[in-house]
Amino acid sequence: MKQSRSEFWSGEEYDAQYGNYCSDEISFFQDLMLHRNVLSLLDVCCGTGLVTIPLSKKLSHAVGIDFSRSMVDFAKSKSSNISNVTFYEKDAVSFDLKSVFDLIIMTGNAFQAFLADTDLSSMLENVKKHMHGNSFFVFDCRLPCPKYFETTHNYEYWSSYTSYSGENVDVYGLDSRHPTLSNTMLHRVRREYENGMQYQSYIELKYRSINEIGDRLEQHGLQLVERYADWKKTPLTESSTSFVGVVRPLYRDH
Ligand SMILES: C[S@@+](CC[C@H](N)C(=O)[O-])C[C@H]1O[C@@H](n2cnc3c(N)ncnc32)[C@H](O)[C@@H]1O
């Protein structure tokens, strides 16, 4: 079972809503790139390239893949005048670019999009296939904690933003447990535009513990070498609700 693409129906609207929230991720990667020999980047589940495009400036080449056409199309249009960045519409569960990258990233908690363990395994297998002995894989992920499993009975106000076309949009959400999948939430989202238009979507998010993630990584020849509570490198504690993992291949080429 795949995560619904309905929440990613418009790259333009995605950037209008979330476009200003990637600065910590970008700083984290710029710091890593400064201290390590990173020339090539693969952004898996890249969305509209919010992270890929700014990072590409310091790289020889960057590639982004995402399975939502609207996101990839907007990423392509935003980067049409940048020669060293390429975006492809591809599923992370089944892609093969036939090359390796110094740094592979997955941001925006896209790690939680892999609802089925078999899909998570295939995605990790593909990530490993695109790494060489000294590559990094870095991702973020919310952790299973009570606040993320809270449910609501009615749509509740979440937030507002200014749409791509300049209108106010109020966002409402209804949170429930997924009816069949364990440790998975189902969020129904309703966007109400100033002109009366509404857009309804939904998204499923899978929660896995750090231990489970560590085990899965090891099954695919990968190991967690650094872990933080967020992109600012806040130390991870028992009460952390999110996690940023830095991953290396288990056996390095020397
Ligand atoms: C929350 S967005 C994050 C986008 C981007 N990484 C960022 O930080 O802005 C999650 C993205 O994951 C993509 N996605 C989810 N499952 C995927 C899959 N199996 N293969 C490729 N992309 C996927 C969605 O289309 C969406 O663009």
The stretch 106-126 carries a mean pLDDT of 98
Q: How confident is the model over 221-254, as pLDDT tens digits?
A: 999 999 999 999 999 999 999 999 999 999 754 4
User: For 5-22, what is the mean pLDDT?
Assistant: 95
Cβ count within 10 A of residue 155 = 16
Which has the minimum average pLDDT: 87-91, 131-135, 213-217, 250-254? 250-254
Q: Give the integer Cα–Cα distance in Å for 98 and 182.
A: 34
Instruction: Retrieve residue 120's tokens.
Output: 């998570």
Adjacent-strand bridge partners of 187: 175, 203
For residue 111, the model assigns a pLDDT of 98
Left (φ > 0), alpha (ψ -120 to 50) or beta: where does 200 sit? beta
pLDDT tens per residue across span 20-62:
889 999 999 999 999 998 999 999 999 999 999 999 999 999 9
Question: Ligand 1 test: best mutation among 41, 55, 67, most atoms within 8 Å of CB?
Answer: 67
Asked if residue 249 lies in contact with residue 133, where contact means CB atoms within 8 angstroms, the answer is yes
Question: Averaged over 182-193, what is the pLDDT?
Answer: 98
The pLDDT score that the predictor gives to residue 11 is: 98
Closest CA to 114 of 43, 179, 207, 178: 207
Q: What pLDDT score does 170 carry?
A: 98
If you measure from the C-alpha of residue 152 to the centroid of ligand 1, how many angstroms do you get, rounded to a whole number? Answer: 25
d(CA 12, CA 20) in angstroms, rounded, equals 13
Q: How far is the CA of 45 from the centre of ligand 1 (A)?
A: 4
Distance from Cα 1 to the centre of ligand 1, integer Å? 15
**CA distances for 164 relative to 86, 169, 179, 193, 249, angstroms:** 24, 10, 34, 11, 41
* The two structure tokens encoding residue 70: 């609207």
Confidence of residue 13 (pLDDT cuts 50, 70, 90): very high
What pLDDT is attached to residue 213? 97
What is the distance between the alpha carbons of residues 2 and 113, in angstroms, rounded to a whole number?
8
**CB-defined site of ligand 1, < 6 Å:** 3, 5, 8, 45-47, 50-51, 66-68, 71, 91-93, 107-108, 110, 113
> What pLDDT is attached to residue 99?
97
Give the integer Cα–Cα distance in Å for 18 and 9.
14
145-154: average pLDDT = 97
* Distance from residue 254's CA to the centre of ligand 1 (Å): 33
